[in-house]
Each structure stands twice: as C-alpha cells, then as structure tokens.
Structure 1
Amino acid sequence: MRIFYHPDQATHAPVHEFHNGALAPHAEVAGRIAHILAAVGPTERPTDAGMAPIHAVHPPGYCAMLQQVPQLWREAGRPGEAIPYAFPVARRRPLKLMRVDALLGAHAMDTVTPITAEAWTASYWSSQAAIAATRTVLAGEGSAFALCRPPGHHAGADYCGGYCYLNHAAVAAQAARDAGVARVAILDIDYHHGNGTQEIFWDRGDVFYASLHADPATDFPFYWGHADETGEGAGQGTTFNRPLPRGTDGDDFRRAQGEALARIARFDPGLLVVSFGADTWEGDPISAFRVATPDYRRIAADIAAFGWPTAIIMEGGYAVDALGDNVAGFLSGF
C-alpha cells in the first residue's frame, strides 16, 4: 500500500489546550507521527495539488484566517498560542472583525484547538496527502493511506475545532467528485463524531457519510452525531450515525460497523474514504472504548471485503506508544 506523508506535518506543536477549566498539556502531539512512521514503513511525499482542491471545501477567507492569526496574535502582544474565548452561538453572520480574538472565535468551535504558527502548513500538507491517496486509488490501486496530522474531521467548512483545521476527508471526497466519481462514501471510525464532515455534506445526495462514535450524550463533540441526524434536502438519508456506549469492545464495534457498511453498500459508491481514528483503542487517554490492537486488522478486513477503492485518512489516536501498532494493524487488513 502506498502511504503519503510530508515532514512539515510534524512542525505543528501545540503546547496547551484549555480543557476542563484549566490549561492542560495538548494531547495531539507531533510524536504521534514518529510512532506511526516507525511501524508502517516507507512513505512518499505528496505532490502539491495547490489550493483549488482545498478551496472546493474551505472558503478562501477561512484559509486566510488560519494563515494570518498567528501574526495578528503576536502583533497584539499576546504570548503563547492563539486560543479563542468568545463564540457567536446566535445569529452567526459575516462581520468585519478588527480584533484577533473576534476573528478567532468566529471561526472556532472550542478552546482546545490553538492556531499555532505551523498549523496551516501542517494542515495544508495533510490535505495534500489525502488528495494524493485519493488520486492513487482513482488511478487503479485498491487502497492508499494518507498519514494526516493534525487530524481533520471536526473542521467544518469555515471553522476549526477538535484539534482539526482543514477537513482532509472532505477534501478527499470532494476531489473524487470533481474527478468524476458519481457517488462517494465516507466511513468515519474515530472515537469522536466527525461533526465537520457531516456538516459539509449535510444537504448533499452525492456523498454518503456514515459514522460510528461514542455517544455524544456523554462525549465530545456533544451537539452532533445523534442517531436522528440523517441529513436534509437532497442529502436526506445520506447521513448515518451510530452512537455507541462507553466500553464498546471490538466485537460490538464490528457489528455496528456492519450496519454502516450495509448502508454504504446500498448507496453503491465509486470510492470510499475511511476516516480512521485509533482513539477507539482500549488504552487511549481521552477515550473510553475497549477495542484491542488485534481487532484493527479484522475491522479493516471487514471494510476491504466489499472491494471498494479506498482512501484511508488518519484521524485521532492519542496513546502515542501504541499508535504505531494500531495503525499498522489496521492497514494490514487491506
């Protein structure tokens, strides 16, 4: 399997997140990359497809914000990393915002996703890796892996959150559509619901989004991912959410995934994008499932058995020492 990764993805190194009422060490560390690289073998640098595939999902103004905020933060005399504290939860509308705090809050959903000086570059090359994996599969290879970091599935079209800045799975899916694939499916098997991906394709009938995740009644992102969220308009019925209780083990996870795969099969996609998070692992520090390392190969084999061309996009997974084995186990199922 071809694996795509760019070294600049490791430059983003957030120090803190504001979580549970206090600054805490950031869970999404660059060391995640080193452990995956050690386990999966050689990688290729993605070619630079430019901004057009990213702008097909994320508006230029939002992309400019990600690039400009670190400098604006420094110019305002702020130490440390840019973290928002005010959010427009009602009547969100375009405004000319003069202060960096206002600009930040208008394009963020939480306080755990600081915009570092390197967040844009790392996210840009992660999206390029996702595009490269997608194009590889469209060229005839059965599957390819984009080692994306930082992750992407919590990022909406014009907001960041959940450690995510650009939505690599959405960029990949849209790139496939723009390449002529009539129907694309996204299977999200991260511990947390991919609220950004869901929102981007919420009212579209050409992209099916299926997610298995911790019940948002108890876990982040709380406000999205409930079972009654099924899309609307042209997208009615093309969103499938399967919330799972804390303590879900590998067997229960595979049964739930079987439901999602059956829905995807009825949709009959020309390409599958898998948002893969290894934070479903039993020892993950910010999650509460009980999926074991040997389960990952079986979970992946269940997906591969359908024979869809598949672009695999790395999402979460925060038990750094175990991350390499878990990712390698999943890829081995393909």
Structure 2
Amino acid sequence: MKAFLDPRQSRHDPRMFLKAGVPRPNPEAPGRVDRLREGALAAGCTLVAPRDNGSGPIAAIHPAEYLDFLATAHDRWQSVDGASDEVIPNVHPSRHAGSRPDGIVGQAGWHMADTACPIAADTWTSAYWSAQTALGAADAALQDGVAYALCRPPGHHAFADMAGGFCFLNNAAIAAQSLTTQGRRVAIIDIDVHHGNGTQGIFYQRGDVLTVSVHADPAAFYPFFWGHAHERGAGPGEGANLNLPLPFGTGDDGFLAAVETACGRIALFGADSLVVSLGLDAHEGDPFRALAVTTPGFSRIAARLADLRLPSVLVQEGGYLQPALGDNLAHFLTGWSTAP
C-alpha cells in the first residue's frame, strides 16, 4: 500500500490547548507524524511524496476568502499590539446572524470555531500539504484499490469556511470532491472518536456524497453541537447523513456493530468509492479516553471496511501521542491489506 506524506506537514507546531479553562500543551503535536510513519512502515507501506495539485481542488470545498484568511492570518495577527504568537480568537459570533468583519481579531472569531485550532507561522504550509497528501492518495486509490494519506494536521472538524478542533482544511472532503469530479459516487465513513462535524456540514445539503460517522456520543463530548442521531441531512441531502453515536466506554464489539450498520447504508447508497476518515483515538489508551477499542480491534474494523471492495482513501484524522499509536495504525493497515 502507498502511504502519502510530505515533510512540511510537521512544521505546524501548535502550543495552545484550552481545556476546561486551563491552558495545556496541544495534543496535536508534530511527533504524531513520526509515530504514524513508523506504523505505516511496520505495515509494509511504501512512502510517497504527494505532488502539488495547486489550490483548485482545495477551493472546490473551501471558499477563496477563507483560504486567504488561513494564508495571511498569522502575519496580520502580528500587527496587533500585544498579540500572542498564535492566532487564537477571543470572540465568536452567532453564525445565524451578523456580518464578516474586516479586522483580523474579528475574522479569527468568524473563521475559527474554538480555541483548539491555533494558527502559527507554518500552519498554512502544513495544512496545504496535508490536503495535497489526501489528493495524492485519492488518485492512487483509483489505480491501486487503496492508499493511505498521513494527513497532519487533520481535517474532519473543518467546515467550508471555519477551522476547529485541530483542523483547518477538510482533507477527507477535498479527497471526496476530487473523486466526485472524476465521476465517482463517494461515501465517507468517519471512525474517529469525535464526530466529523465539518465533513457533515460541508455535505449536509448534498445528496451525491453519503456521510457516515461512528463516534462517542456528543451529548457531553466534543464537538457537542453536532453528531446526534437525528441529524439526517437537509434539502437534497436529506437521508444522506448517518450518525451512529456510541456510549462512553464502548469497546470492539459495540464499535464493530456500528460499523456493520454503516456498511449496510454504504451498500444501499451504491457507492463506488470510499473515503475513510481514520481516527485512532477511539483506542482504549488514547489521551481522550472516550471509547475502548483495542489494538486488534482496529484490524477487525479495517477488515470489515475492506470487505466493501471499493477503491478506498484512508485519510488520517485523530489519534494522539501514546505508546500504542503506531501499532494501532499498523494493525489497521495490515488488517485492510490481509482481508480475504
């Protein structure tokens, strides 16, 4: 299996993470790349650098004014007297009303959903190449049947014009849109411990892409406001969104039961291509500790998804620094490659 990665994805080095009002070290650290690379190599993957597809495929999902914000926000922020090293909003508008402001402080609140997506000097570079990594894997999946995108920073919490939850560009959505443009009928399944709220938001009123998410119940867990079972899509997208929230502490069998339900919906949708938002933070040892999937459990999840027999792009989302992170990825990729 080809594993796509660009070294510039490690430049983004966020410092700030506000949890229950307390500043803490940001868990979306560059060291994740090293652990995940080790896992991919242990699974026998061949590392490939993505080519630069330009901004067109990214702009097919994210509007130009948002991309301009991401590219220029840090430099503009530094012109504010006494500003921090990272762009971190201190005001968030109700997006149900109001107007996009001109100043960088207001625009930070407009385009950043929370304080968990600080923008530093190299954030745009890393996010751009993370998206290119997803695009490279999407092209390879059509040729080879499956490819892994070691995307970092991750993407599934990024809406079309709003960053959030460690995410800036929605890599899975960008890959899915690229496949759709090539005439494919795409399903996205998100198996991160957190609901893929940005992905849901991007496709919520579209019926041409199916979005499915298996995740910890958001009633008391990030992203809180999205990911509930009654959210089914709207307008042309009604019925094309499926959320499968799980009780805290759910282990392998409960998670796999939800994946089985997801696979049934994907088959009924008639998908001919699959994008997997691959979160490894459902593991029992992940720092977020919401679900309890075991390392062998990731092999079982992968084998079930591989059994769909669809060209598949495996897009890395969460999974944070802990001893089993590389092994979890290796088990997932090996489970996929060795599926009957």
- Same-fold call, TM cutoff 0.5: yes
The aligned residue for residue 66 of structure 1 is 70
The aligned residue for residue 311 of structure 1 is 313
Residue 21 (1) aligns with residue 21 (2): yes
TM superposition shift of 1:131: 0.5
User: TM-score scaled by structure 1?
Assistant: 0.97
- Distance, in Å, in 2 between the alignment partners of 1:202 and 1:320 is 34
- Distance, in Å, in 2 between the alignment partners of 1:186 and 1:91 is 27
Amino acid at match of 1:197: T
Equivalent in 35, 43, 50 of residue 54 of structure 2: 50
Bigger CA drift: 187-196 or 72-81? 72-81
TM superposition shift of 1:80: 2.2
CA contact (8 A) 2:156 2:197 kept: yes
Residue 134 (1) aligns with residue 125 (2): no
Amino acid at match of 2:8: D
The aligned residue for residue 33 of structure 1 is 33
Equivalent in 88, 101, 113 of residue 93 of structure 2: 88
- Distance, in Å, in 1 between the alignment partners of 2:18 and 2:258 is 33
Equivalent in 178, 187, 193 of residue 181 of structure 2: 178
The aligned residue for residue 157 of structure 1 is 160
Equivalent in 279, 282, 287 of residue 280 of structure 1: 282
Residues 53-76 of structure 1: per-residue CA shift (max 9 Å, x gap):
000000011011011111111111
**Alpha-carbon RMSD:** 1.1
User: TM-score scaled by structure 2?
Assistant: 0.95
Give the match's secondary structure for 1:269.
Answer: coil
Bigger CA drift: 317-326 or 40-49? 317-326
Residues 4-48 of structure 1: per-residue CA shift (max 9 Å, x gap):
000000000011112211211101000011011122124110000
TM superposition shift of 1:95: 3.0
TM superposition shift of 1:117: 1.2
Note the residue ranges of structure 2 that are not aligned, 5 or more in a row: none
TM superposition shift of 1:306: 1.4
Matches within 5 A, 1:98-113: 98=103, 100-113=104-117
Amino acid at match of 1:82: V
Give the match's secondary structure for 2:281.
Answer: helix
Give the match's secondary structure for 2:136.
Answer: helix
Give the match's secondary structure for 1:75.
Answer: coil
Amino acid at match of 1:142: G
The aligned residue for residue 265 of structure 2 is 263
Amino acid at match of 2:61: V
Q: Percent identity?
A: 46
Amino acid at match of 1:85: N
The aligned residue for residue 9 of structure 1 is 9
The aligned residue for residue 326 of structure 1 is 328
Closer, same or farther in 2 for the Cα pair 1:124/1:92, shift >3 Å? farther
- Distance, in Å, in 1 between the alignment partners of 2:286 and 2:94 is 31
Q: Give the total of aligned pairs.
A: 331
